């Protein structure tokens, strides 16, 4: 029954406002607030900490989180547009330590946000040959690069910008070849980095779309080869503000960890002061890619969904700007369950988010 389930809340507020970061090392410079509840609750931010209220009619811009209840769980939501982030530090699961990544996830190292653009966890045979491409003729529309009017299902004539007349049409592969000269490629041991400035037409200045859809099929203008072994593609979102794009193609089949950090020895090097020298680690295990924190100063985070559901006997830690909150549910004390648990203990216990564990081995 829900009335027997208690939610313990521990909040920690860093006393410094710095790009929404939280320092996981300097525990002495934090304000800690705790609260226990069995009913709907609101978490309210104050100048130097957090407060709690069970008045569900309370309305204010200072409300950080709304906590509601259902039959067997607590539901946590953020009323503001800013979403909270799951803290990867000390995350555990039945299969492997860390957070299991999925396509579309947003992960944050320090203040740098990376989007999981694509994950492929199986080996595949990639062939460069294109069979069955029937050549056709447009009878009037010609490519402004090669001046031919022939095209096929794999080499379409497209109009990617606002140019008109004889400048309107371009072969898909002609445009790909031209754009390839604008891309900077850096190849590492297991990571290939592709970076480019915003790509636009040199005549009308229209920005080229990175993808377009023809006949229900999505085509990519940037020709980035995929490995035949399991891989993950990450997109660095910092460049969106400066019209710049950077993508990492990461091969995960060689068994070693992919290190992310500021140091030169990392597989993915990120030049940002909020990123630790070795910040986080990607590992491939059981046809899944896991993200682990490497005891970084400002933490490794994954953007949470709109709602966070906390079931019984679980512990979840989230970060919202410079505040960290840990939610733990416990059932009432039962001497019989305690005796059985001592004799037959299963699973792992999630420690406090401020505990410092040993760094994962490579």
Q: How far is CA 121 from CA 94, 118, 249, 284, 285, in A?
A: 20, 10, 13, 9, 10
Tokens at 66, concatenated: 């709304």
Q: What is the pLDDT of residue 334?
A: 60
Residue ranges in the chain whose pLDDT is less than 70: 1-3, 27-28, 93-94, 124-139, 240-242, 254-255, 332-362
Fold topology of 2-84+304-331: Tumour Suppressor Smad4 (2.60.200)
Q: What is the pLDDT of residue 1?
A: 44
Give the strand pairing for 323-330 and 315-320: antiparallel
* CATH 2.60.200, the chain: domain bounds: 2-84+304-331
Fold topology of 127-188+195-224: Herpes Virus-1 (3.30.40)
Tokens at 177, concatenated: 């070849």
- For 244-281, the pLDDT digits (tens) are 889 999 998 766 789 999 999 999 999 999 999 999 99
Q: What is the pLDDT of residue 345?
A: 45
Q: Which residue has the tokens 């950077």?
A: 246
Sequence-ordered list of residues with C-beta below 8 angstroms from that of 74, at least 6 positions apart, any chain: 5, 7, 67, 68, 309, 310, 327, 329
Q: What's the rounded Cα separation, in Å, for the pair 257 and 281?
A: 6
Positive or negative torsion for Cα 86, 245, 195, 127: positive
Rounded to the nearest angstrom, the gap between the alpha carbon of residue 273 and the centroid of all alpha carbons in its chain is: 20
3-state secondary structure of 198: coil
DSSP state of 200: B
**Helix (H), strand (E) at residue 272:** none
Summarize the chain as % helix, strand, coil (round to 5).
10, 40, 50
Cβ atoms of 98 and 88 closer than 8 Å: yes
Q: What's the rounded Cα separation, in Å, for the pair 7 and 29?
A: 26
* CATH 3.30.40.10, the chain: domain bounds: 127-188+195-224
């Amino acid at each position: 029954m829900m009335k027997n389930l208690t939610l313990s809340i521990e909040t920690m507020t860093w006393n410094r406002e710095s790009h929404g970061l939280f320092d996981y090392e300097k525990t002495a410079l934090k304000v800690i607030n705790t609260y226990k509840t069995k009913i709907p609750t609101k978490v309210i931010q104050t100048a130097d900490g957090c407060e709690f209220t069970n008045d569900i009619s309370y309305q204010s811009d200072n409300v950080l989180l709304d906590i509601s209840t259902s039959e067997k769980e607590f539901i946590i939501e953020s009323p503001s547009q800013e979403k909270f982030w799951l803290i990867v530090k000390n995350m555990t699961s039945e299969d492997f330590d860390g957070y299991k990544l999925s396509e579309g996830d947003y992960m944050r190292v320090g203040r740098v946000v990376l989007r999981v653009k694509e994950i492929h966890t199986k080996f595949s045979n990639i062939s460069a040959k294109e069979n069955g491409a029937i050549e056709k003729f447009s009878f009037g529309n010609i490519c402004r690069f090669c001046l031919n009017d022939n095209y096929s299902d794999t080499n379409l004539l497209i109009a990617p910008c606002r140019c008109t007349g004889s400048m309107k049409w371009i072969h898909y592969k002609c445009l790909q070849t031209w754009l390839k000269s604008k891309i900077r490629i850096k190849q590492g041991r297991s990571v290939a980095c592709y970076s480019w400035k915003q790509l636009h037409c040199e005549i009308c200045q229209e920005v080229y779309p990175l993808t377009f859809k023809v006949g229900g099929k999505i085509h990519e203008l940037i020709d980035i080869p995929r490995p035949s072994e399991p891989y993950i593609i990450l997109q660095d979102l910092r460049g969106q503000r400066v019209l710049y794009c950077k993508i990492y193609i990461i091969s995960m089949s060689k068994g070693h960890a992919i290190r992310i950090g500021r140091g030169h020895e990392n597989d993915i090097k990120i030049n940002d002061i909020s990123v630790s020298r070795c910040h986080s680690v990607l590992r491939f295990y059981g046809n899944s890619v896991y993200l682990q924190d490497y005891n970084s100063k400002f933490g490794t985070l994954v953007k949470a969904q709109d709602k966070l559901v906390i079931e019984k006997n679980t512990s979840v830690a989230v970060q919202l700007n410079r505040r960290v909150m840990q939610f733990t549910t416990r059932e009432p004390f039962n001497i019989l369950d305690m005796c059985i648990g001592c004799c037959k203990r299963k699973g792992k216990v999630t420690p406090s988010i401020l505990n410092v564990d040993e760094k994962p081995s490579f």
